[in-house]
Structure 1
Amino acid sequence: MVAYALQQCCILLMQMAILHEMGRRILFVTMALFMMHEAHRTDASRFYPTSQELNPKFHALINKTNLTRRLIDQVYPNTDMVYFAYHGAVLALAQDGYYGFIGTMDMYGLSLTPGQGSAAAVWIQGGGDGTPSNMKYIMIGWDVYPAEYGDSRTHFYTKWTNDGFQSTGCINMKCAGFQPEKGASISPGGVIEHVSSPNGAKQNLNLKIIKDGTSGDWLVHVGINRDPELIGRFPRSLFSGGFADRAAAVTFGGVVAGPITNPPPMGSGHLPTDDKSAASISNIQFIDKNGHAWPLTGDLPKFETNQNAYAVSPVVDGKFFYGGHA
C-alpha cells in the first residue's frame, strides 16, 4: 500500500541508528549528538536540537541510504516516488524522552487518483537499531488516500506498529490496537467534512497525544475547530521496549506518494514560501514525564527529500509551513 510504504519510509529516515550501514560514521554522529546534549543541559530539560546543530550533510546521508530504497521496493514496488517534508526532535537532545505532543494542523481537500496519497501527521516514535523489525511508532493526522478509502475525501487517521508491521499494527481500526472512547466525536478513518481553503477560512485539527501516568497508555485527544477531547487510546501493552514507557522522537509534517509523472500535492499544494496559502502546523508543544506541556520556542532540524517540490519553513513561535506541488 502507498500509505504503508510511505509511513515506513518516513520513520526509517528519522531513526538515527539507521546509520549502521555507513560503518564508522555512526560513532562520529553518536558522539556529536551526545556532546550537543551535554553542552545544552540545564536544570530544565531541552526537548530538541536547533536546526543549526545537525549538519545538513548528516541529513543527506540519511536521505540517501540504500536501506530506505530497498524497503520501498519491497513493500510497494510500483511506487515511483515517496517524498516528505517535516521537522523532528530526537531523544539525543531530550534528557528524559517525550511523553506527548500538542499541535494544530489545518486540513485540506485534494483531488487524487488511486495511485496517489497525501498526508499530514505527527509520528510518536520509539527507539531502535534502524532495522524494520524494531520500528515502533504511532502516527496521527489527516490524509487523502483513494486506494484505502475508495474516495478522495479528507479523513482523520491513525497508524501504529510495534515491529515494522511484520506481525503487528495497521491503519485506523483494521486490527485490534486503537481502542475508541465511547461516544467519541470522531474515529480513525472517519471523514472530515469541512476542510480549509488555501486562500480562505481554515479548518483545524487540534491534537493532543499524551502518555497516561497511571495506565501507561498513549491517550489520543482530537478536536476539529475546538479544544481536543479524548477519543481513544493505544494501550501500553501494544508496545515493547522503551516505547512502552516513553518516545524517543517526535516528528511532524507532510508526506506524499505516487507516480513520478503525476506527483500529488502536499498540504494545500502550495510551497511554504507562500505563507498565506501554504498548510501549517502550529501551537507545537512537547509534554514531559510530569505531564507538563512545553511550547516549542526555537527552530528544529528539517528533513526534505525534494525541496524544490516539497519543503518546510523554519519553525517560528511554534509554527511552520509546509507543502508544495500545486
Structure 2
Amino acid sequence: MKIIGQETTKTSWDDLKQEGIVKTIETNNGEIIDCVNIDKQPSFVNSLIKDLQLDKGEIIDCVDIYKQPAFDNPLIKDLQMEPNYYPFGNKLDSNLTLKMLQDWHKYGECPEGTIPIRRRKSYDHPYHKRRSLMMRQQINQSFSKDIGHEHAIVSDQGSSYYGASGIFNVWNPQTEDNEFSLSQMWIVTSYNKEDFYNNLNSIEVGWAVNPITYKDKETRLFIYWTNDGYSRTGCYDLNCKGFVQTSSTHALGMEIKPVSTFGGESRVIPINVFKDKMGDKWWLQVLGSIVGYWPAVIFPDLKNNANLVEWGGEILNRKNDGYHTTTQMGSGKFPEKGFSQSCYIHSLKVLDDGLVPRDPGNLVDNDEIIDCVDIYKQPAFDDPLIKNDFQMEPSSYPFGMKLDSNLTLEILQDWHKNEECPEGTVPIRRNTSYGNFHPIKSSHFMRQQINQSLSQVGEHQYALVIDGGSPYYGASGVFNLWNPRTENTELSSSQMWIITRYDNEYDNYNTIEVGWMVYPELYKDKQTRLFICWTRDGYQTTGCYDLTCSGFVQTNRNYAFGLPLRRVSIEGGEMREISIDVFREEHRWWLLVHGTILGYWPTAIFTDLKKHANIVEWGGKIVNNKNYGYHTSTQMGSGEFPNKGFGKSCNIHSLKVLDGGLIRRDPGNLGKIITKPACYDLTLTKNRGSSFETHIFFGGPGFSPTCL
C-alpha cells in the first residue's frame, strides 16, 4: 500500500489539495478511495485531499466532506453530522465497529473533516454514469415480474413506515460477469396507483456482488436510491448527487471482509434506516454507526414516510447461453438447508411515527400479502345469512379425535418465522390482482355443466373413489403432498369432496372441498397450496376458493389459506403429508388441519348440506385444456402412476366417514371414477389392519404415447 501525496500521478498534489482532496487510498485490487475535505464540494475532482492506495489497486479518496457529490445538488444545502432523535432502544456503537467490515483502514485513515469515497475504475471521479440495464425498470405488476430481474422477498405494505431494519447474513454468491446478486432492504413510497412504478421512490441498502458496477466479484455493502422508478434519477453509493455521507470510517462500495463460509462462522451486518422525526433526513446506520443520510428533499413521495418495505434477494438473469443463469442468490443454497448453509435476514422490524420498532404487520411471501383482519370483519360476515353466527370452537368433537396445538400449523407455512397475526384477527392472503377480498370465482376450473355423472365432465379429469348412499356427517383423510408439473392455464389437485346431491340435479349441487392444489391462474405461480372451496348451486353463482367471498368463517390466526405449503414430498426422499377432517356439529361444518381447528362453513350458506351429505369423494383432479392440440402434460398427484407405490406415487390414506353420532367409520360403498386411465389411474386398498387403513394411490404423467 502507498499513500499518494505530492507524488500522485493523477495531477499535482498541490492542485488536488486546493480542490479539497485530502488523501487517497489505493487497495490491493486497484480500487481507489479519496478522502475529501468536509468543507468543500462543487465537484469531486476539485475536492480531493488525500489518496489511500490499497493492495488490490483500489483507491480511496479522502474528500472534503462539504465537497462530496451530494452537494452538487442545489436542493441539498446543509450538513448535519448526527440525527436529532434515534429510534427507541437503538444501540449506538463506535465508528470503530465499521472497520470489521472493511480492511482498508490498515493502510491509513481519512483525516477529520473528510469522508472516504471509493474511486471508480472506469472514471477519474465517482460521479455516477447510470447503467439502466441493472435497474428494475418498466415494472408493470410487481417487483418479481420485471424482465431479467428475479426476486425472493417478503414485504410489509399498507401502513406508514418511518424506517426499517434487519440483520443481514453475508455471503459471496457465484455471479456471472454481466449480472448481479443482491441481499437487501427496500424502503418505498409511490402514491400514484395508476402508474405506481414510474413514480416509485426507493431507498435501498444491503450487500451485493455486482461485476458490472464494481468490476469484480467481491461482496460489497451498497446503497441505492431513485425518485422516479429508476428512469432518470438515482445511483449506487456516492456516484451521484443524493446520499450525504458523514462517517469518515466507511467507504460505500468497498469489499466486505470476511463473509460467511459453509459450516464455518456466519457473518452478519445489522442495517437500520430511519427518518429523524424532528428533521427531514433518512439516516443510515450500519453496525450501530451512523454512515450518513438521504435528504428527504430529493424525494417527491418519501418526504414524510414510506408505504412499503421489502427484505430479500434479487438477481439479474440475462440468459447468456440461452438458458437460465447460474448466478446464485444468497449463499447459493435453498432456504431449507437452514442456518450456516442458507442465507438469511433476521430481526426484521419497521418503525412507526414515534420511531418505535415493531414487527411487520402485513406480511408478504414472494409478493403475497397477508392482511391481519379483525375476526368480525372477515369476508364471511358480509353475508346476512351468517351475520350473527360466530363460534371459536365446536361444542363437541368426533369420538376419538385428537386435537393438537396451533404450533403444528407452522409445519405447513413458514410466514410465522417473521410475524404472527395479533389475537382477535385472522390472516387472509390478499389477492394482489384485485387488491381486495371480493370473490374471484374461477368457474372455468370448477366442475360445472355436469349432466349425467362425474365421469362426464368434459375437460376435467378425475381419478377418485366415491362413497355414496348414506347420511354422512363428516369425512377425513391423510393427504400425501407433492408438487405436480402443471401447465399455466390448468390445475392439479388432491382433495376431498363432501357433497349433497339429489336426483342427479347438478344445478343444486352442494359441496365442501378441501385439499392441496397447484393452480397457476388463481395463485400466479406453480407452488403447492392448501385450499378450500364451496358452492350450493353447482358452481353457477355461489362459492369460491379460500376466503375470496362470503362463506367460510376462519377462527384460527396462525394459518392463511392459499399460501404455499412449506415442504412437499420428494421422490425417494421424505414423504410429507397433512391430515384433514371435516365434521358437522350443530349448524356448522368444522375444518381441522393437522389436528387444529381452522374455522367452519355455516350450514346457512347451503340449501342441501344443512343437515348432512350423501356423497364423499377422495382423489385427484386436473384440467385438460389441450393447449397444443393434444392431451395436457399436467401431472396428477406425484406425476407417477399408482403402481409405483409408496415413495413415488401420491396417496391419501386413513379414509374415514362420520355417522350421525360423529363416530368415525370406514367407507362402506367405495367405487372408483377414473375418467382416462391411460393418463391418470387409481388403486384402492381396504386394509383395516395396516397403518394406512383404507387408502388410495393415484396419479399419472398426463401426455404420453398412450395419453393423447
TM-align CA RMSD:
2.2
Q: Does residue 696 of structure 2 align to residue 320 of structure 1?
A: yes
1:204 aligns with 2:577: yes
- Within the alignment, does 1:217 sit opposite 2:588 as a pair? yes
2:474: which partner in 1?
100
C-alpha distance 103-202 of structure 1, shift in aligned 2 (>3 A): same
- CA distance in structure 2 between the partners assigned to 1:180 and 1:193 by the alignment: 21
Task: Decide whether aligned partners of structure 1 residues 86 and 3 sit closer, same or farther in structure 2, where only a CA change above 3 A counts.
Answer: farther
1:239 aligns with 2:606: yes
Cα distance per residue 1:113-136 (max 9 Å; x no partner): 322210011000012333442111
Kept after mapping to 2: 8 A contact 1:122/1:253 = yes
Higher strand share: 2
**Structure 2: runs of 5+ lacking an equivalent:** 1-439, 688-693, 703-708
Q: Give the equivalent residue in structure 1 for 2:540.
A: 166
TM-score (ref. length: structure 1): 0.72
Structure-2 separation of matches of 1:62 and 1:111: 24
Aligned AA (1:87): V
CA contact (8 A) 1:300 1:315 kept: no
Equivalent residue for 2:501? 127
**Which whole-Å CA distance do the structure 2 matches of 1:257 and 1:229 have between them?**
31
2:533–2:546 CA contact under 8 A, matched in 1: yes
Out of 479, 492, 495, the position equivalent to 1:118 is 492
Aligned residues: 252
Could you tell me which of 558, 563, 574 is aligned with 1:190? 563
Shift of 1:201: 0.8
Shift of 1:258: 3.0
- Structure 2 Cα separation of the partners of residues 158 and 139 of structure 1: 6
Residues 2 and 245 of structure 1: is their aligned pair in 2 closer, same or farther, counting only changes over 3 Å? closer
Select 2:651's aligned residue among 267, 280, 291: 280
- Matching residue of 1:253: 619
The structure number with the bigger radius of gyration is 2
Are the structure 2 counterparts of residues 285 and 62 from structure 1 closer, same or farther at C-alpha, using a change threshold of 3 Å?
A: closer
Do 1:299 and 1:316's aligned partners in 2 also have CA atoms closer than 8 Å? no
Q: Structure 1 regions of 5+ residues with no counterpart? A: 13-17, 20-60, 70-80
- CA-to-aligned-CA distance 1:186-217 (integer Å, 9 cap, x gap): 232121111011222111120010001x3x21
How big is the shift at 1:83?
1.3
Q: Distance in 2 between matches of 1:197 and 1:203?
A: 8
Kept in 1: contact 2:634–2:701 (CA 8 A): yes
Corresponding letter in the other structure for 1:118 = S
Conserved 8 A contact 2:622-2:634: yes
Identify the match of residue 301 of structure 1 among 657, 671, 687. Answer: 671
Deviations 1:233-260 (A, max 9, x none): 000111113x100001000100111333
CA distance in 1, matches of 2:502, 2:491: 27
Q: Is the 8 A contact 1:2 1:117 kept in 2?
A: no
Q: Report the alpha carbon displacement of residue 295 of structure 1 after superposing the two structures with TM.
A: 3.0
Superposed displacement of residue 63, structure 1: 2.8
**Map of 1:270 onto structure 2:** 640
Do the aligned partners of residues 120 and 62 (structure 1) sit closer, same or farther apart at CA in structure 2, a change above 3 Å counting?
Answer: closer
Post-superposition shift, 1:85?
0.4
Instruction: Provide the rounded CA distance (Å) in 1 between the counterparts of 2:441 and 2:622.
Output: 9
Aligned CA distance change for structure 1 residues 82 and 150 (closer, same or farther; 3 Å): same
Q: Using the alignment, how far apart are the partners of 2:539 and 2:579 within structure 1?
A: 27
Q: 1:292 aligns with which of 657, 660, 663?
A: 663
CA 1:211–1:168 in structure 2 vs 1: closer, same or farther (change >3 Å)?
same
Q: Which structure ranks higher in relative contact order (CA pairs < 8 Å, sequence separation ≥ 6)?
A: 1
